[in-house]
A and B are shown apart, each in its own frame.
Chain A
Amino acid sequence: MKLFTYSLAALLAFSFSVASQAANIYAGESKAAAVCSQCHGIRKTSAEAPFPPLAGRDEAYLESALKQYRDKTRVSEIMNNIAGSLSDRDINNIASYYSRLKP
């Protein structure tokens, strides 16, 4: 019984994590298309643009940078505004999406 409970919990946790990860990337894709890609592009930025590319960057770095912009410990007029509109979940999704994209 105990074993059963444990495995059910594990199964639930596993299926949940698979489902949430899949949802993450798609949600991240649409958020990235709507919010980030205007400046940062999808795979790369414009040859003429002064913005850093995001595709293939480290996931943890993207996440921490976005959170710093959001709480204004990292200062940029435009990024403080844009990151200010993002939830924790959005930031997770975006970081997860961009980090998995090949530049």
Chain B
Amino acid sequence: MNLIIDILISGLISGSVFALLAIGFSLIFGVARIVNIAHTAFYMVAAYCIYFATHKMGFHPVWGMVAAIVLVTLLGMLSYMIFINPIREHEGAVLIATIALAMAFQEIMLLKFTGTYLSVPSLVKGYLVILGVKVFYQQLLTFCLASLIMAVLWVLLMRTKLGLAIRSTAQDREVANLMGINEARVALITMGISVGLAALTGAVVVPLTIVEPHMWMHPLIMMMAVVVLGGLGSLKGSFIGAYILGFAEALVVFLAPMGAFLKGSVALSIMILVLLIRPEGLFGVSFEEER
């Protein structure tokens, strides 16, 4: 019984994290066709910002989080304007520009904070006992915040004019342009939202994880797996795919021997099996071929 609750909590939390990351990633992919490898690097930068604000400057964690989200969003938009926008027509160049960006962020953090494992205090202390299992309030808070963010994002995308612009640009860039949508500006705003989501994810999850310069690698891989599993450009797909992979990871970690090593392998194998049956992912809309 304890094991089941452990698995449930761990799966829900990693599922929410993957969902938030994957939604941000597929947003910018849909609108601007950018495969942003640096997406989770922004998540790492946000985590370091919070560490810096709380430990070095003595801010309250909540203000640290707000500052981190604002700063990282600005950083994301700035790097989009400087490095990605001028070469957007060259798909390959954009790809390695984002890889290089991620490497640069990792190195800067390594230089500034060294490679030691750091941690950030949780927002709320204490725990709750459910059926004999300790559930920290921080875990509950993380899950609730993640759900809240997803709800807000859904409203933004489905109920506002900006959301309409983003969705129509994702469907067909040229027609969206003809309808009077400033495509370049939508792309910039989407980049801001996408990076902001990555920063938010970092902010809500950072008290539960270890902060170190390589912390972006594992989420990156899982995020990409989620996006492919759910279907590129489908928010519902990302959401469900994230929980499938999150629970798969949790199950393997708690049940299989050597689980910690195999968790990535099993989750990715599930993705490949699903793709064998449905090549466009669970909820993917097969895009009209761009020729």
Chains A and B bind each other: no
A interface with B by C-beta (< 8 Å): none
B interface with A by C-beta (< 8 Å): none
